[in-house]
Structure 1
Amino acid sequence: MNQVYIPDSDRRIQLGLLRLGRPNSFSLPESTGYITPVNKNILVRKKDRKSLSTIGLLLLLSCLLTFSQANANTFTVTNTGDNGGVNPAANAGTGTLRQAIIDANANAGADIINFAITPLGGVKTITLSAFLPPITGQTTINGYSQSGASQGVIGSRTITIEINGGNTNTTVSGNSLGIFNFSATSDNSSLSGIALYNSGNAAVSIIILPSADNVQIWGNYIGLLASGFSPGSSSLYNKTDGVLLANSAGGSGAYSGVIIGTNGDGNNDANEGNVISNSSDGTNGGDGIQIGFNTTDLLTYSGVRISGNYIGLAADGVTLAPNGGANPGVSSSKGQDGIDLRQGIDGISGNPIIIGTNGDGVSDALERNVISGNSGSAISVGSNIDYVRISGNYIGTDKTGTVAKPNGTNSTTAGTSFSGILAFSGCTNIVVGFDDAVHVAAVAADVRNVISGNYSDGITFVSMSGAGNKISGNYIGSDVTGNAALSNGSGSIDQSSNGSDGHRSNNITLNSSSAITIGTDGDNDDDAIEANVIVSANNGYGIHLRHTATTGTTVGSNIIAGNKIGVGADGTTALGNDRGGIIINISQVSPNASSYNNANRIGSNNDNISDDLEANIIAYNGTSATTALQRGEL
């Protein structure tokens, strides 16, 4: 029995009951905003003002999809061969994965690829000698269909299908890009229950091309063995990105509803997270997930979600398995971040790129990513990107949120520095944590990021001055309780060649950035929840506003309000930042430094709206014995 709802400010009002075919006989990704799988709610957003005739159309579509799934052809992989690495004529490589994809592509309808490799029992390894054929139609590749495999939460599942990429860069007809290639016509496809490692240095492990809508990659170990741990030799790591949402050949295009990890629909969500690690060739490195490719591409991403994954750790959520090679000083463009959003991409207003939870009250805790241990930044947001929401993640900790697993270990004192979250100029509507335009108080704990334990800064914004950029409701420098230190700056990076303006390891650095809100916006909407806990920076400040260029953007109109800086979430536990609570400093600016430092507000604006909640608590800072003269909070 299914229910039709029209949400009213995220509160669902039941309208009626409808019966839709056989239970569990079809699914539509929730990210469309309108339909969720059978035995789940069909959602119609109130703001779209859809008529009952539209609901009828959706029901007809659901019935058609039921029919399509019921009549899907199933192709079964029965051996670990690979057809000699070419695309043979039909049936020439009977029983191989390569042949199954060829046969599925030749079928006009939806297809399922299952596994029944004999002899049954144990892990089955398919070693490739070339890229697999591109997937050109709706195809479900289900590694969990192999005997002995079983779904489960990360670290507790049993994967029995390993794909050894063979370190190959050999292309095949229609696929010069990567091992698994979901083409523009592969809408509604999925890949699950696979361990994939040893891709070549020109081979993305999984690539999803523009216009391939509603593709879901779930329940896989990417860069790991079926055991959930790293291969015994780094030569078997994936040599470049784990997952790429772009065309590495360049070009424009659009994505809709692509999900890496759990879709948060309340059905099987605990089992849908991936582990994406060991994207590294030891020289140039690789990102765990890269969205966008060339800076000149024009790509839009509507409802794209990265949720419920471990990125940079093994499946136990503790053991390091970094993305990016151990190359201190190598620039991030070489690829070494957990998630890399490249310049030239955009989310969509009202349907942004979501990293973590969407905060809708359904499976929010299961949508948390643990993004830790990466050689570069956990999350890098390139220039001129709009509409990204980063909520509910552990960034720099283990899966418990209590033990440091630093990102940014390639940071150096020579000038290359990575952060938990690093974002660049021209970005707008980058929200880190609680967003009162979307979230309600009941989900505050689930949308809170814990950004702690990182090698250098917790968060760095560089030359950002666009609208809607906000850091609210997070724990930065503490563990998941908010009352125990888990310091950012564990590498004691001190780029102090610029004298008093040296970039040290701070919890938050706003470098030549303006119009950023840190804490509450004072709009009388969940203002208390928007407070950040900003504590225990090692060799750094709680918040550092700085400008070092002779020209450029001002450091102005930033709001720092309602935060706990140097004290824990309880408001009393002493967790001071080493060098100070807040510092605003300008250097190397000519001729008038004051012109680059305007209208920053620390505390209340005295407008009689939430003024008491806009007050920061700034205490116990400047605790380092070597910085005794900086005990003042400003």
Structure 2
Amino acid sequence: MSRFVLTLACLLLACRAYAAVLMVDTTSDAQLMACDAALPGDCSLRGAIAKANSIAGADTLVFGLVESDPGYQVATAHWRIAPASTLPLIQDDLTIDGYSQAGALANTLAPDQGGSNAVLKIELHGFGSSSQAGLDVGNGNPHLVVRGLAINNFTINLQLQSPGPHVVEGCFIGTDVTGMLGVSASGNSYGIRQRGQATIGGTLPAARNVIAGNGYIDLWDESATSTTQPSVVQGNIFGLAADGSTVLPGQDYGLYITNPVQGSVIGGASVASRNLFAGIETSAIYFTGNTGAANATPIRIQGNVFGTDWSGTLARPNGYFPSSPIQPQPTIVIFRSGACGVVIGGDAPGEGNLIANGAGAGVLISTCASAAILGNAFRGNRIGLDLSPFSLADGATPNDAGDADAGANRLQNSPAIEQVTYLDAGATMKIDYRVDSLPAHAAYPLRVDIGGGSSGQMEVTAFIDSVAEVDAQSLRTVSLPTAAFAGLAPVLTTTDADDNTSEFASDTLFEYGFDP
């Protein structure tokens, strides 16, 4: 079979230069770029990138390495490419396909079946903290597709510059080739630094990335520096090894987003699109940057799992911050000015996140407003929602008379439960509550959601009431089946018409437990 295939493309009578399929057939770091089918061992990764840069058009790099190659690792039956210096910038459209190597297999497990059973055969291994980026996209708007590679031990394992779009799928970023071990304390500072539009992962099992073992940030999204096009992050494992259960220590942040592009999606309503964030020492997701846009095009964080293994049953906490255990960190932080421009969860089936076992708050909204937090399941967090007027968490905020204070989500007052009465021999729960929020201090109508839990948790919320301005501060009543709470105390939240969700209701009514 030919190892160097040329194709000719013409568009509107203007022919482009040949695009190529180049087969990397040596792990040598020399700039071997003949890539001639008649010359085995003549096409290194370094040389193939350089050659692809010289050929206009969308080129593809495949792999055809043999076991006699010096880079073959007998113990793990894979090939290690270890550049001694920075590889050439990728300056033209390029696909690098690690699954083209004989023996490589893409993942076949759905997110609710396990982690990733991908078998990778190509490892790109850096030389520690001085190695800069492993693969690096240059300027000039090239598009990069990377699949089926293990990339580790570079300061930045993968850098996606330019406007994009780029695609990263089926890779292990920051781990060894098995996906089960971190690699080095001296390298692996950043897994992916994204400075252009990108799709990270996808809804197909084969697209799932394991992005873990990176000492500082697994995925750093700075895409707003060069594009206004939204990105998609779906189906990935952050913080855990490929088995979806083993914590790889030393990771500060999972997804860190600076000046996010509005309309970007993290997760989705289907099981196939959910990301798993677990075992991360500070925050699983951290948003910061300039004022967000109105929620007409919010960033959506939906359907993800935080703080457990792949099954959702075993605790794998985020935010435990071992360097300072007395300062646990929130699982999700939205720290922006103006409008937050974020929706966490949603009303449609599957849009709610599971946010569990957080050492600090499940969600911290810091200084910004209009972050709708709906339909999520909070379990076992130190506090479920924390609205703060400052940059740091401040714990539960008591309601104030008339809701006149200001801060994150306007420090929207939560509903105060006045009385619970049982009807129909205990089968029905009648809840009397009020929301002390004057029309001058909240946008009406107010939306009230209910779930079961306590001040630190809340099972999936459900809309129960809409409070019009004429009903402001009036006593409200709702009747629900007692069985729906499964023995948990009712917990209420308020969301005003501008999407400002309150903290959980904090009542002494159930101080000594809940007994229906």
Secondary structure in structure 1 of the residue aligned to 2:360: coil
User: How many angstroms does 1:118 deviate by?
Assistant: 0.9
Deviation per residue, 1:311-334 (Å, 9 max, x gap):
00001110001452xxxxxxxxxx
User: How many angstroms does 1:219 deviate by?
Assistant: 0.3
- Say if 2:450 is the partner of 1:450: no
2:130 aligned to which of 169, 187, 199: 169
User: How many angstroms does 1:303 deviate by?
Assistant: 2.2
The aligned length equals 421
Aligned to 2:409: 514
Conservation of the 8 A alpha-carbon contact between 2:412 and 2:494: no
Partner amino acid, structure 2, of 1:347 = V
Going from structure 1 to structure 2, the CA distance change for 1:73 and 1:159 (only over 3 Å counts) comes to same
User: How many angstroms does 1:155 deviate by?
Assistant: 2.1
Conservation of the 8 A alpha-carbon contact between 2:17 and 2:55: no
Conservation of the 8 A alpha-carbon contact between 2:58 and 2:93: yes
Going from structure 1 to structure 2, the CA distance change for 1:239 and 1:270 (only over 3 Å counts) comes to closer
Give the alignment of 1:290-329 within 5 angstroms.
Answer: 290-292=220-222, 298-322=225-249, 324=251
Aligned to 1:146: 101
User: How many angstroms does 1:151 deviate by?
Assistant: 1.2
Greater share of helix: 1
Partner amino acid, structure 1, of 2:345 = G
2:276 aligned to which of 351, 370, 381: 370
Going from structure 1 to structure 2, the CA distance change for 1:476 and 1:617 (only over 3 Å counts) comes to closer
Aligned to 1:592: none
- Say if 2:206 is the partner of 1:271: yes
Conservation of the 8 A alpha-carbon contact between 2:124 and 2:134: no
Partner amino acid, structure 1, of 2:275 = N
Secondary structure in structure 2 of the residue aligned to 1:535: strand
Deviation per residue, 1:57-80 (Å, 9 max, x gap):
xxxxx9969x99996311111111
Conservation of the 8 A alpha-carbon contact between 2:145 and 2:166: yes
User: How many angstroms does 1:235 deviate by?
Assistant: 3.7
Deviation per residue, 1:584-603 (Å, 9 max, x gap):
xxxxxxxxxxxxxxxxxx66
Going from structure 1 to structure 2, the CA distance change for 1:134 and 1:298 (only over 3 Å counts) comes to closer
Going from structure 1 to structure 2, the CA distance change for 1:378 and 1:160 (only over 3 Å counts) comes to same
User: How many angstroms does 1:127 deviate by?
Assistant: 1.4
Give ranges in structure 1 of 5+ residues lacking alignment: 1-61, 171-176, 247-254, 281-285, 325-335, 478-486, 493-500, 544-558, 561-566, 583-601, 608-613
Distance 2:210 2:167 in 1: 14
Secondary structure in structure 1 of the residue aligned to 2:343: strand
Aligned to 1:45: none
Distance 2:67 2:394 in 1: 59
Distance 1:413 1:198 in 2: 26
Going from structure 1 to structure 2, the CA distance change for 1:517 and 1:215 (only over 3 Å counts) comes to farther
- Say if 2:166 is the partner of 1:225: no
Conservation of the 8 A alpha-carbon contact between 1:135 and 1:186: no
Matched-pair identity in %: 24
Conservation of the 8 A alpha-carbon contact between 1:139 and 1:186: no
Conservation of the 8 A alpha-carbon contact between 2:371 and 2:409: no
User: How many angstroms does 1:95 deviate by?
Assistant: 2.1
User: How many angstroms does 1:270 deviate by?
Assistant: 1.6
- Say if 2:201 is the partner of 1:261: yes
User: How many angstroms does 1:168 deviate by?
Assistant: 5.6
Deviation per residue, 1:457-494 (Å, 9 max, x gap):
111111123xx4200111111xxxxxxxxx1129x9xx
Greater share of strand: 2
Conservation of the 8 A alpha-carbon contact between 1:159 and 1:227: yes
Going from structure 1 to structure 2, the CA distance change for 1:165 and 1:385 (only over 3 Å counts) comes to farther
- Say if 2:17 is the partner of 1:77: no
Aligned to 1:548: none
Give ranges in structure 2 of 5+ residues lacking alignment: 1-8, 109-114, 293-297, 385-391, 398-404, 416-441, 460-471, 474-479
Going from structure 1 to structure 2, the CA distance change for 1:217 and 1:568 (only over 3 Å counts) comes to farther
How does the TM-score come out when normalised to structure 2?
A: 0.70
Aligned to 2:218: 288
- Say if 2:356 is the partner of 1:431: no
Conservation of the 8 A alpha-carbon contact between 2:134 and 2:156: yes
Partner amino acid, structure 2, of 1:308 = G
Aligned to 2:111: none
Distance 1:101 1:139 in 2: 9
Give the alignment of 1:105-184 within 5 angstroms.
Answer: 105-119=53-67, 122-153=77-108, 154-167=115-128, 169-170=130-131, 177-184=132-139
Conservation of the 8 A alpha-carbon contact between 1:476 and 1:534: no
User: How many angstroms does 1:511 deviate by?
Assistant: 9.3
- Say if 2:241 is the partner of 1:347: no
Distance 1:198 1:64 in 2: 42
Secondary structure in structure 1 of the residue aligned to 2:286: strand
Secondary structure in structure 2 of the residue aligned to 1:226: coil
1:102 aligned to which of 15, 36, 50: 50
1:206 aligned to which of 158, 172, 180: 158
How does the TM-score come out when normalised to structure 1?
A: 0.58
Deviation per residue, 1:360-419 (Å, 9 max, x gap):
xxxx32111001110110100114352321011001111111221111011788874421
